[in-house]
Structure 1
Amino acid sequence: MTQTIAPRVRTLVLLLLAATGLLLAGAGPVSAHAALTGSDPRQGVVVDKAPAQVSLTFSEKVALSDDSLRVLDPKGKRVDRGDPANVSGTTYAVKLHSGLPDGTYTVTYQVVSEDSHPVAGAYTFSIGAPSQTTVSVSGQTAGGGIVGTLYGIGRYVSYAGFILLVGGAAFVLACWQRGAGVRAVQRFVVSGWLALTAATLTLLLMRGSYTSTGKVGDIFDLDLLGQVLQTKTGAALVSRLLLLAAAALFIAVLFGAYDKREDDEKRDLTFGLAIGGTVVAAGLAASWAMSEHASTGLQAGIAMPVDVVHLMAVAGWLGGLAALLVALFRAPADTPVEASAVRRFSRVAFGSVLALVATGIYQSWRQLGSWSAFTGTRYGQLLLVKIGLVVLLVGIAWVSRRWTARLVDTAVVKKADAADEGETEAGDGEKEHAAARTGTSASGEKAASTPVSGKKGGDSERAAQLARQQAAIDTARRKQQRDADPNRFGLRRSVLAEAGVAVVLLAVTTMLTSTEPGRTEEQARAASSASADASAAGALTLDMSFDTGGEDGKGVVRLDLDPARVGGNEMHVYVQRPNGRAFDIPEVKIAFTLESQDIGPLPVVPDHIATGHWSASGVQIPMAGEWKIAVTVRTSDIDQTTVSKNAQIG
C-alpha cells in the first residue's frame, strides 16, 4: 500500500504547484491602494496662463520622495522646482518655474500609499493651446517588471516561512513533544526560519527599487536602502529581522536542551517556551499588521491586534497541519505519531478556525464596507475564493477527525491484545529460563556445549551483527505494519489533501494582502466619478463678442463656470481685445435667468483679479436647466452693452 502513496503524493504536489503558479501569475502588478481623486490643473484642461504649481489629491495619505512629482514640458524637460510637499490633508504639490510657454505638459507621479504599496500614473494639461509632446504617458505602472515579480515571490515566501516556523513549533509544544527529537520535524521548523529570514532580507534590499525605479541594478543601491530604513515598511522589516534572531534562540532551546530533558523535567520548560514563543510569534505577526492594510483606514487601533490574532491563527492551523503531514510521512518507525497527538492538534486547529472566523468577519467588514464590494471589486472576489477554500479545508479536516477517532479506537484494541500476548510470552520466558539452568532447550534437547575461548571474539561480533540485522528487520516490520494500517493511511490522505488546499489558500491570502481593499476601491471610484462628472460639467466656457460703440469699445468676453452644476460654482471672466490681448474695463456684471421657471435674473458682480480677469466664488445655481447668461460690459462712463448666451447648467 505504501507503494501507491508516493505516485499520489507526487501527482497532488504537481497539481498544487500548478494551481499556485496560476494564482501567482494572475496576480500581476500590485494594485494601487491610494487613488488619484483630483488634480489642479485637471486632466486634459487648457489654461490661459501658466500655473504657479501643480497639486494632486489622493484618496489617502502617501509618502513622497524627491522625484515623486515631476512636470515635463513638450520636449520632455523638467519644469518643476524644489521638492514636492504636503500642502493640506491628502493634497500634495510641486512648484513650477515661471514664464512657461504655451503647449502640452505632462505630470507624472510615483508615490507610496500609507499601507506600503507603490502608486504611479501620469496625465497631461495644456497652457494656451494643446501641442505635440515627446513625452509618453503610457506604461506608467508601479510594482511591476522583474523587481515587482521578485518582490511578490518574496512576500509569498515570507508568509510561508512564518506559517511553517510558528505552526511547526506550536505543533511540537502543544501536540507532540516527542517530535522535538525527530530530525524531519526539526528540519521543517528550521526551514521555516530560514525561508522567513532570507525573504525578509531580500524584501529589505528590493524595497527601494520596488517603490521607485523598478530597476534590478538598484536593488543594491545603498542610498535607496537608506531611504527605505526611514520608512514605516523599512522599520517593520528590520524589526522582523531582530525578532528572527530571538526565534533562532528559541529553536536552539526547543531542539536542544528541551529534547534532552525527561518528561517530568519538561513541564516547566514547556511553559517558558510557550510564553516566549508566543511573544516572538506575536511580534513577527505585528511586523505585517503595523505596515500593511491593518495600519491604515477605519479603526486602525483595533484592526492591528485583530490582524495579529488572525495571522497567528493561520500559522497555528496551516503550519501545524504541515508539521503533522511531515510527521505522518517522515517520522521514524520507532517514533510514530501517537493518535493522542493528532487528537490534540485537532483541538488546536478547531480553536484556530474559530479565531479565523471571528477575525475574518471583522476584517471583511472593515475592508469591504458593502455587500456589493464582494462581487464588484477584485478584493471581494478574491475574498470569496478564500472563503470557499476555508470551507473546503474545514470539510476535509472533519474527515481527518473521523480517521483520528478510528485510529484512537484501533490503538486501544492493540494495547489490549499486546497485554494478552505479554502474559503468554512471560510464561514462555519462564520455561526458557528454567531450561537454561538445566542446560537443555525449551523442548528438552541438550544445549550445545560452550565454544572454546578462541572462538569467543568471533562469536560476539557475529552476535552483534545478527542483533543489528534483527533490529533493522523489526523496524522495517513495524513500519510496514504502521503503513498497512488502513486508518493511518486514510488519515495520511486526508491530511495531505488539507495541506494541498492550504498551499492554494496561502497563495490567495498573499494576493489579498497586495490588492486594494474593496472599501478603498469603491471610495476612490466614487471620488473619481464625481471628479469626472465635475470635469465634464465644468467644461462650460462661453465666448461673447461685444461692441459698446465708443473708443476702444470692441472686444471678446469669456466666461468660465466650474463645475457648472446645481449649487456652488467658481466663475472666471476674461476680457480681451480683438487681437487677443487682455485689457481692463471699468465694470463687468453678470446675470443668470432661467426663463422656463421664471427664476432670475440673479445678479453676480465679480471681483477684479488681474488685468482683464475677474472672478467670483460660491455662485449659486438653484436649479438645473437652460440658463440665459447675460454679461454687461462698460468700457467708459457712458459706453456699455449687454451680450448674452443660453447654456445648459446642471
Structure 2
Amino acid sequence: MTIRRALVVLGALLAVVLGAAAPASAHAALVNTNPGEDSVVKTAPQQVLLTFSEGVLLSADSLRVLDPAGGRVDSGTPQHADGKSSTAVVALRAGLGDGTYTVAWKAVSEDSHPVAGAFTFSVGAPSKTSVVLADQEQAVGGGAAGVLYGIGRYVAYAGYAMLVGASVFLAVCWPRGALLRPMQRIAVGGWVALVASTIALLMLRGPYVNGNGLGDAFDLGVMREVLNTRPGAALLSRLLLLAAAAVFLAVLFGSYAKRGTPANESERAERADLAWGLGIGGGVIATGIAATWAMAEHASVGIQSALAMPVDVVHLLSMAVWLGGLTALLTALVAGLGIEREAVQRFSRIGFAAVTTLVATGIYQSWRQLGSWDAFVSTSYGQLLLVKIGLVVLLVELAWLSRRWTARLGAPAVSVTAAAAVKRPERVVAGSSTDPARQAQLRLQRTARDKTQAKRTREADLERSGLRKSVLAEVAVAVVVLAVTTLLTGTQPGRAAQEKTGSAPAPATSSSSSGLPLSVRIPYDTGGPKGKGQALITIDPGRVGQNEVHVLISGADPVPVDVPEVKLEFTLKAKNIGPLPVPLQHLDVGHWTAASVQLPIAGTWEVSVTVRTSEIDQVTETKNVEITS
C-alpha cells in the first residue's frame, strides 16, 4: 500500500471514530431548579426556573412543561430571569391539578455545545405519567447530525492546518516549491476542505442543536436562527475570511512564485515588498480564521477568557504551521521533488518554534480546563488530555529524530519526478510512430520508467530516506492528535465537570430556605429479579415537629411499582435518638405515606429505607437529610 493510500485510510478510520463518538457532554451544567427536581409541592407554582453553571442561549422551545397526560402547560416564551444569561424561566398556566409534571429543557452553552435534559416535580402528591422524552429531548448533539457535525469539525481543523502550514512552508521555507503542482494541491486542498466543512457546519448547526433531524439543514428559517447566534456568526466570518484566503493563494502561486530570483536591486525591492504584503495579509487571514474557533468554543467561557482566547489563537496557529508544514515536507520528500537542504533546515527551525509554542500554550489550556490533578483521571476530558499528552510526547521524539536526519542532509538528487512536476510540452521524436495507440503506450512506458528512476534515486539517498520515514511517522501521529483534539473540543472540560458536581443541588432541600418540601432519592438493589430501583422520599415541611412523609418506589425505569414490603426509619446519631419507625400506609401503586411523623430535634437525620422485592430478596439503604428548626 502506498503512503498516500495509507494516510487516506488512516484519515477515514479516524473520521469513523469521530463519528461514532458519543455526543458531547453537557458544558453548561444545570445546578438548580425551582420547583426542585423530584420535589412535591402543596400548591401549583406560577413558573419553572432553571439555573445553569454558565450562560446559555434559549430558543422558543427551550422549556416545555408537560402534565401527567403529556399536554403542554407552559405559557409564553422562555426568557432569562432578571437578565441573567445563566437562567431560564417560563410561566405556567393557572389552575394546574395535582400530579407529576415533567420539565423538558434544551439550550446552547456559551461554548456552542447543545445541552438538554428533563426532570419531574409533583403537585399535591406524585402520580403516574405517560410522558416519553427519549426521542424528543435527548437527540440534541447526537444522532446522524451529531456524527456529521463531528466529522465536519475534524475536516475543518485538518483543512486549516493544510492551508496555513503549506502556505508558510512555500512562502518562507521553499518558495521554489510554490511552482510545483503537488505542493500547490496541498494548500488549495486545505482551502477547499475548510470551505466545504464550514458550509456543512453551518447547514448542520440547526439539526445538531435542535435534534429535529437532518431536514432542518435545508430550512431557511432555521439557518437564519443559526446566523443570529455566536457560533453561526463565527462560521459566517470564517467563510468571508476564506474568500480573502483565495486571493492570497492566487498571489502566492501566481506573481510571487513566478518572479524567480531577482536580477537587480529594483526587482529585489519589489519582491521584498510583495513578500511583506503576503506575510502581513496571510498572517491577518490565518489569525482571523483561528479566532473563529476561539470566539465560539471553550476559550470564550470560563476563567480568564480574555487571556484564553488569544492563547487559543496562538495554539491553533502553531498547530497549523507545524502539522501542515510536515505534510508539505512529506509530499516533497515522497514525490522526489528535490527539496534543498536549506529549505528543510529552515522548516526545522520554524517547526521547533511552533512546537515550543504549542507546548507552552497547551500547558496553560490544560491548567485552565482541568483545574485540579484529580480531573486527569476523574473526568473524560482529563483522560482524553492524557492521551493527547502522550501522543504529543511521541511527536516531539519523532521531531527530534527528524532534526537529526536534517542535520545530515546533503545536496538533493533531483529525480525525473521532480523535473516532471512542472508541466512541460511533449517532445516529438523524429521518425516516431504517429499511431495514437502507440503514442499512448510510449507515454505509459516513460511514466513507468520515470517512477522507477525516482524510486531508485530516493532509495540511494539514505539521509532523505531516513528523513522521509521519520516525517511520515510524525504525520501519522499528528493525524491521531488532531482527532483527539477534535474530541476534546466536544467534551466537557474537567473544571466544568467538577464545578457541576460541586454545585449540583443536594439530594435533599430544606423548606426553611426554599419554601419547598425536603426530598431525597435513594437507589436500591435487592439482588433478585427486578430488584433494582429507587425510593423517592419527601418530607413536608422538612422541619422540627410534625411532618407528612411520602415514599414513592419505582423500578429500573421511572415507573412506580408495588413491592411486598417497604419500611422507613429515622435516626439522629448525634443525639442517640432512634431509630424511629414510620408507620406507612399504601396509598397507590408504588406510593406509601405517613400523615404524622414527629422529628423532635433539628440536625442531620439518617433516613433508612428497607425494600423487599420477594420472599428472600431485601435490602436496606440509608441517606442523610438536614432537618431545620
Shorter-chain TM-score tier = 0.7 to 0.9
Partner of 2:583: none
SS at match of 1:317: helix
Give the secondary structure class of the aligned counterpart of 1:256. helix
- Matched residue, 1:493: 469
Larger Rg: 1
Corresponding position of 1:586: none
Residue 102 of structure 1, CA deviation = 1.2
Q: Closer, same or farther in 2 for the Cα pair 1:122/1:268, shift >3 Å?
A: same
CA distance in 2, matches of 1:370, 1:540: 33
AA of the residue aligned to 1:111: A
Change in Cα spacing, 1:358 to 1:533, as seen in structure 2 (3 Å) is farther
Is 1:316 aligned to residue 321 of structure 2?
A: yes
* C-alpha displacement of 1:358: 1.3
Q: Residues 311 and 474 of structure 1: is their aligned pair in 2 closer, same or farther, counting only changes over 3 Å?
A: closer
Identity over aligned residues, as a percent? Answer: 55
1:24 to 2, 18, 25: 18
Which aligned pairs between 1:431-580 and structure 2 lie closer than 5 A?
461=430, 477=453, 480-528=456-504, 530-534=505-509, 540=518, 560-561=540-541
Q: CA deviation at 1:560?
A: 3.8
Distance 1:164 1:522, change over 3 A: same
Partner of 2:529: none
Q: Give 1:340 shift.
A: 1.4
Task: Give a deviation string over 1:536-586, Cα, whole Å, max 9, x none.
Answer: 998559xxxxxxxxxxxxxxxx99445x6xxxx9x9999xxxxxxxxxxxx
Residue 411 (str. 1) matches residue 411 (str. 2): yes
Q: Partners of 2:232 and 2:378 in 1: how far apart?
A: 33
The residue type equivalent to 1:181 in the other structure is L
Deviations 1:87-124 (A, max 9, x none): 14322210000001111111000100011110011111
Give the 3-state SS of the residue equivalent to 1:119 in structure 2: strand
Deviation, structure 1 residue 194: 0.5
Deviations 1:259-317 (A, max 9, x none): 21022243332222111101100000000101111111111111111000000000000
Worse-matched range after superposition: 479-488 or 293-302: 479-488
Give unpaired runs (5+ residues) of structure 2: 415-427, 435-442, 520-537, 549-571, 577-600, 607-624
Residue equivalent to 1:75: 69
Asked if 1 retains the 8 angstrom alpha-carbon contact of 2:56 and 2:87, the reply is: no
Equivalent residues in 2 for 1:163-562, closer than 5 Å = 163-264=161-262, 265=267, 266-332=271-337, 336-407=338-409, 410-411=410-411, 461=430, 477=453, 480-528=456-504, 530-534=505-509, 540=518, 560-561=540-541
**Cα offset, 1:464, TM superposition:** 14
* CA distance, structure 1, for counterparts of residue 447 and residue 216 of structure 2: 59
Match of 2:440 in 1: none
**CA deviation digits over 1:357-400, x for unaligned, max 9?**
11111111111111111111111111111111110011111111
Give runs of aligned pairs for residues 113-132 of structure 1, distance below 5 A: 113-132=109-128
Taking structure 1 as reference, are residues 405 and 343 closer, same or farther at Cα in structure 2, changes over 3 Å only? Answer: same
For the residues of structure 2 that align with 1:572 and 1:235, how far apart are their CA atoms? 57
- Tell me the residue number matched to 2:598: none
Is the 1:246–1:280 contact (alpha carbons within 8 Å) kept by the matching residues of 2? yes
Matching residue of 1:64 = 58
Asked if the contact 1:294/1:307 (under 8 Å) is kept, the reply is: yes
Partners of 2:165 and 2:321 within 8 A in 1 = yes
Relative distance call for 1:273 and 1:8 in structure 2 (3 A) is closer
CA distance in 2, matches of 1:49, 1:351: 66
Separation in 1, partners of 2:626, 2:602 = 13
TM, length-normalised to structure 1 = 0.72
Q: Please give the secondary structure, in 1, of the residue aligned with 2:49.
A: strand
The offset of 1:184, in angstroms, is 0.5
For the residues of structure 2 that align with 1:15 and 1:478, how far apart are their CA atoms?
26
Q: For residues 160 and 623 of structure 1, do their structure 2 counterparts lie closer, same or farther at Cα, with a shift above 3 Å needed?
A: same
SS of 1:233's partner is helix
Structure 2 counterpart of 1:612: none
State the distance in 1 between where 2:278 and 2:67 align.
63
SS class of match (1:126)? strand
> Deviation digits for residues 469-510 of structure 1, max 9, x if unmatched?
999989975663244212111111111111000000000000
Runs (4+) of structure 1 exceeding 6 A deviation are 468-476, 535-538, 571-574
Output the CA distance in 1 between the equivalents of 2:391 and 2:185: 28
1:213 offset after TM fit, Å?
A: 3.3
Change over 3 Å in CA distance of 1:263–1:476 after alignment to 2: farther
Runs of at least 5 residues in structure 1 that lack an aligned partner in the other structure: 1-5, 416-458, 542-557, 575-592, 598-620, 627-646
Equivalent of residue 109 in structure 1, options 92, 105, 119: 105
CA shift in 2, pair 1:561/1:403, >3 Å: same
- Judge conservation of contact 2:238–2:292 (CA < 8 Å) in 1: yes
- Change in Cα spacing, 1:573 to 1:518, as seen in structure 2 (3 Å) is same
For residue 120 of structure 1, give the secondary structure of its aligned residue in structure 2.
strand
How far apart, in 1, do the equivalents of 2:244 and 2:41 lie?
Answer: 60
The letter for the 2-side match of 1:40 is: N
**Aligned residue pairs, count:** 510
Does the Cα contact within 8 Å between 1:559 and 1:572 map onto a contact in 2? no
Does the 8 Å contact 2:38/2:122 carry over to 1?
yes
Q: Is the contact made by 2:43 and 2:124 (CA closer than 8 Å) also made in structure 1? A: yes
CA-CA distance at 1:596 after TM superposition:
5.3
Q: Which residue of 2 aligns with 1:649?
A: 627
Q: What's the TM-score, normalizing by structure 2?
A: 0.75
Q: Contact (CA 8 Å) 1:23, 1:508: kept in 2 or not?
A: no
Q: Which amino acid is 2:218 matched to?
A: F
Residue aligned with 2:54, SS? coil
**One-letter code of the match for 2:324?**
G
The alignment partner of 1:71 has SS state of: strand
- Indicate conservation of the 8 Å contact 2:18/2:147, yes or no: no
Q: 1:79 to 1:152 in 2, by over 3 A?
A: same
Distance in 2, matches of 1:46 and 1:518, equals 33
Distance change >3 Å, CA 8–CA 181, structure 1 → 2? closer
Question: Secondary structure in 1 aligned to 2:430?
Answer: helix
